[in-house]
Amino acid sequence: MISRGRCGAVAFLLVVVCLAVGCQEATESKGVIGYSALSMKNPFFTIIAETMAEEAAQHGYTVQVLDSEEDVEKQARQIDSFIQQQVVAIVINPADRVAIGAAVKKANEAGVPLFTNDAQCVAEGVDIAGHAGTDNEQGGRKAGEAMIEVLGETGGEIAILAYPQAHSCVLRVRGFKAVIEAHNAEHPDAQIRIVAENDGGGKQGISRKQTDLFISRNPELAAIFAINDPSALGAYTALEAAGKAGKVTIIGFDGELAGRQAIKEGKIYADPIQFPKKMARVTIENIIKYLDGQEFEKVQLFPTELYRQSDALDDPELK
């Protein structure tokens, strides 16, 4: 979180002001870094925003944070605005991994370096100055391993709450399926069958509705893989309302505070956890290196770690 020191406090104040009314470049700042977040309603991106602001302040830069609200057209307008403001760099979590490409090209043509973190842009013909994020395919494999811990001996029907607009989530599902397919090839008598895969939107409300569909159409459903913690928590809410909490296992992804608390309480079995503060700090470090003409690793992916109830019971951040 933001430090209580002077630089951290100024950075946090700037984030709040930018979210509310837009911001003017601070007079003492070396320049402004524009950040178009995927969704500030998701605590994961709040952590990224706060950490980037703190890290940038230590280097003499300020961060202007705008919320794309998962709307690719709105994010494109925000990129245009950053270009007009002549920010020193732009950071985005792509609202759509392909459709944001046209806006990225505008930044390229204007000579404004554009970085991504968490999710990557995979549009053709774009120049991404740098990316720092999770090794999502590895994380998906970890989720698959957790699923096998639960169903490996017996097999069973499972469903996936996906989010195909985000490349990171596509990779999570890909890694998850690879592990499940390998298990099924080796264990014909304990098949883990994916019977449904729906778009949960990465949100609790949508994921709850999709889980309602899962359990109404698949009465033998044994488990759900959700691509993030909000989706996992939405799934739990649906299962609880249907009297199936504890009967259908949930594997989540992220390691947000609410997700870790749910793991402690036994609502979610496990999460491959991410490290948003690390990706935020590395993003700013890479921007500074870029501006100073230094070399840096263009794509940096950080592996996840599987977090179970035993980890949650020893977690000092949890009640």
Cβ atoms of residues 205 and 234 within 8 Å: yes
Q: What is the DSSP string of 46-89?
A: HHHHHHHHHHHHHTT-EEEEEE-TT-HHHHHHHHHHHHHHT-SE
Q: Give tens-digit pLDDT for 10-46.
A: 333 344 434 333 444 444 789 999 999 999 998 899 9
Angle between helices 257-264 and 229-241 (to 10 degrees): 40
- What pTM was estimated for this model as a whole? 0.83
The CATH T-level fold of domain 136-274+308-313 is Rossmann fold (3.40.50)
| pLDDT value for 167 | 87
Q: Give tens-digit pLDDT for 135-190.
A: 999 999 999 999 999 999 999 999 999 999 888 999 999 999 999 999 999 999 99
| pLDDT value for 47 | 95
* Structural domain boundaries in the chain: 6-128, 136-274+308-313
| pLDDT value for 238 | 98
Query: Higher model confidence: residue 305 or residue 2?
Result: 305
Q: Do domains 6-128 and 136-274+308-313 have the same CATH topology?
A: yes
Q: Tell me the β-bridge partners of 34.
A: 64, 90
3-state SS class at 36: strand
Beta carbons within 8 Å of 40's beta carbon, 6+ residues apart: 19, 46, 49, 65, 67
pLDDT bucket at 7, cuts 50 / 70 / 90: very low
Tell me the one-letter amino acid at 219: P
Query: What CATH code would you report for 6-128?
Result: 3.40.50.2300
Q: Give tens-digit pLDDT for 94-146.
A: 999 999 999 999 999 999 999 999 999 999 999 999 999 999 999 999 999 99
Rounded to an integer, what distance in angstroms lies between the CA atom of residue 150 and that of residue 223? 9
Q: Give tens-digit pLDDT for 55-99.
A: 999 999 999 999 999 999 999 999 999 999 999 999 999 999 999
DSSP for residue 292: T
φ/ψ region of 52 (left if φ > 0, alpha if ψ in -120 to 50, else beta) reads alpha
Rounded to an integer, what distance in angstroms lies between the CA atom of residue 304 and that of residue 273? 5
Q: Which stretches does DSSP call E strand in the chain?
A: 32-37, 62-67, 89-92, 114-117, 130-134, 156-162, 192-199, 221-226, 249-251, 270-273, 299-302, 305-308
Q: Which stretches does DSSP call E strand in 192-248?
A: 192-199, 221-226
| pLDDT value for 319 | 76
Mean pLDDT of the chain: 91
